[in-house]
A and B are shown apart, each in its own frame.
Chain A
């Protein structure tokens, strides 16, 4: 009896050993055989019921936010159960280069956003709350994704790619109205923006406090610098020497950056030239002071090879109707790159 049991379990041991060989050794051997060739960065998966690019990205790319990669690679954003889906494990269109053209990222520059009760005359730079709402809704309806300047810089470094319809929304303001009117609209639509503040003005009447700016930062808004007081850096005061002017510019940039970093406890990497104006020396100073990119105010999109310290921004003001707004949002330079 004992011998019979021994034979049975002895057989089971052999079966287990065979299974181990099948599970562990054979795939290793297959892998070993292919180690000298370049493996595909793609993964072939079978869609489950209810799968979307986001659920697939969460499962296979460990980030739902990368769903757009799956959608763009497969050329579709809905999948049926059992359908074969290709998961791109790496960047597949670096720098946004495609056979039909070059991707450009439109950067939108707002001044002040929001309404003031009872104010008859509005400044040209101020966009009303309703107009801003309409513009953000248009962006969403048109399939745009709002990106952060970090992602733009990575794109410009030719190390990553962005969703085809990407936009960077920026606002040069410390106004309380941005916190009360614009930020809630952006959050409601799942968008983000970059706010360039002049630290010397923060906390003044009608402007945001540092607590509010910290809240924006925690909510995913990027806080950039617009100099210490937001004064133009390209105008030299009468009687001021070149060296004195240089020191003043250095102080404006350095103190502004330092104050934001001290208040937020994180690096301030982006600069908007006050009044949108700069020259090569100011751009070089910004680069040397540790800014990663700087933005001016002149129309045009940003391809990956654009000047990182002279990024174009399309100004949106209260004259910008939806037609004009949509014109500013071109995302491709059409050229034959086949």
Chain B
């Protein structure tokens, strides 16, 4: 009775083990994609096989029919299709192969190749076609030779390379002594090569590293050129000259690229008096000055942007002394001058505005207009002060009258009456003061 339980225990154990090992997954797959599901796919696979055949994919079509044969309950149709297709493939392979041979005879090698390839496509195991392809269309640099009695490396070399002295080639390729007889029937490996005779192209003597460095320099590879040149004997004057030439070129490129600190360092490595150094040093100096000028100009612009027109104008005027023809600086100075004068004008400091505008460029339209306005206001102001002076004169306060007229004259230097009255008032004042 105990034995009777064994199958049940075995089934439970199997299910448990299968679950643990993941075989249940396979079991699930077998249930979902088992024979019944596969049988349902037969029509689709058969249709696909026919479609592949239409496209000329006979091998793939055959494989599909073989799949149908494997899974179908009744594989009769598949068997018929397989037989038909196998016969068709066989016939096509033979036909292509024969056509290939015929094309070879006609010396139409490309057509021949395509026929052999077509045969191979249909039956990749069809060795005659593969042999043709390998032999005629697939070059290989080695060939095989079977020795005959009396062969020696020298005689084989004479036979294949036309020169007994090439015996060392036979020996090298076959690892045999150069001076011994070869046993008949041995297979030798030989290069598929014919001696072209004396070399037509001869290599130049090993290039001088300095020449290579010069080539690198010419090609623009400065770092490579410098590395090569530095490998030369340091006491060699030519090497040193080349090194300095490269450094000079480096410095020139660094100046062009605006890497002025690097250029200064490169130039410092070149001894004074080296050809081209002075000119490049001058260029570098100019570039450095130009850079400083640009920095100062930027600072001046910043002052302007911050509304610090006074310092901006002072700085701009200094820059104009360094670069009188620089239009950007001139424009900045004129604009600063105008803004500064405008501030004075707004605060009714017309005389200060007039002072600032004295050097105003005529091309600055707003500045010129402001200059005229300031002038008009000062003329008006002069007249006011003139009248004030007259009032003081009438009140016999000569000192106050003179002060007012002086202001009037300061406002309008062309005010003739103010000038005249000042002179008269002074004389009168002198007389009054000299009276006993």
Contact = CB atoms under 8 A, between A and B. Distances in A.
B191 A281 contact: yes
A107 to B, nearest CB: 17
Contact of B134 (A34, A102, A236, A305): A305
Given A5-B1, A310-B139, A40 B124 contact: no
B44 A121 contact: no
Nearest to B254: A118
Interface string A229-242: 00010111110101
B227 A205 contact: yes
A95 interface: yes
B105 interface: no
B237 interface: no
A232 B203 CA distance: 10
Interface string A306-327: 1111100000000000000000
A288 to B, nearest CB: 5
A143 B361 CA distance: 69
Interface residues of B, number: 72
A40 to B, nearest CB: 3
Contacts of B124: 91, 94-95, 97, 158
Interface string B18-56: 000000000001001100011001001100100000011
B35 to A, nearest CB: 10
A42 B199 contact: no
B44 A84 contact: yes
B414 interface: no
A161 B273 CA distance: 69
B11 interface: yes
A284 B173 contact: yes
A6 B1 CA distance: 6
Nearest to B40: A84
A236 B202 contact: yes
Contacts of A250: 172
B141 A287 contact: yes
Interface string A219-255: 0000000000000101111101011001000100000
Nearest to B169: A246
A123 B221 contact: yes
A243 B32 contact: no
B137 interface: yes
A240 B168 CA distance: 16
A283 B4 contact: no
Contacts of A186: none
Interface residues of A, number: 71
B10 A16 contact: yes
Interface string A1-41: 01001101110110110000000000000000010011111
Interface in A280-298: 280-281, 283-288
A288 B7 contact: no
Interface of chain B, main secondary structure: helix
A92 B63 contact: yes
Given A44-B38, A46-B37, A284 B191 contact: yes
A63 interface: no
A284 B193 contact: yes
Interface stretch (B112-120, B146-154, B301-309, B336-344): B112-120
Contacts of B48: 86
Contact of A284 (B65, B142, B253): B142
Contacts of A287: 140-142
A258 B36 CA distance: 60
A336 B124 CA distance: 17
B60 interface: yes
A235 B69 contact: no
B138 A9 contact: no
A270 B257 CA distance: 43
B4 to A, nearest CB: 3
Given A16-B10, A119-B223, A235 B1 contact: no
B259 to A, nearest CB: 8
A263 B291 CA distance: 53
A337 interface: yes
A92 B8 contact: no
B189 interface: yes
| Most chain B beta carbons < 10 A, residue from A16, A94, A97, A102 | A97
A84 B118 CA distance: 31
B67 A46 contact: no
B366 to A, nearest CB: 47
B436 interface: no
B110 to A, nearest CB: 9
Q: 3 closest A-B pairs (Cβ-Cβ)?
A: A121-B220, A9-B4, A284-B191
30 contacts: A5-B4, A12-B4, A16-B7, A39-B70, A40-B67, A40-B69, A42-B63, A45-B33, A73-B60, A84-B45, A92-B63, A98-B57, A99-B121, A118-B257, A121-B220, A122-B220, A123-B221, A237-B202, A238-B202, A246-B172, A279-B193, A280-B191, A281-B141, A284-B142, A284-B173, A287-B140, A288-B191, A305-B137, A307-B141, A335-B117
Given A46-B37, A250-B172, A305-B138, 14 more contacts: A5-B1, A5-B4, A39-B66, A88-B63, A94-B124, A97-B117, A119-B220, A123-B221, A234-B201, A281-B141, A287-B142, A306-B138, A309-B140, A335-B114
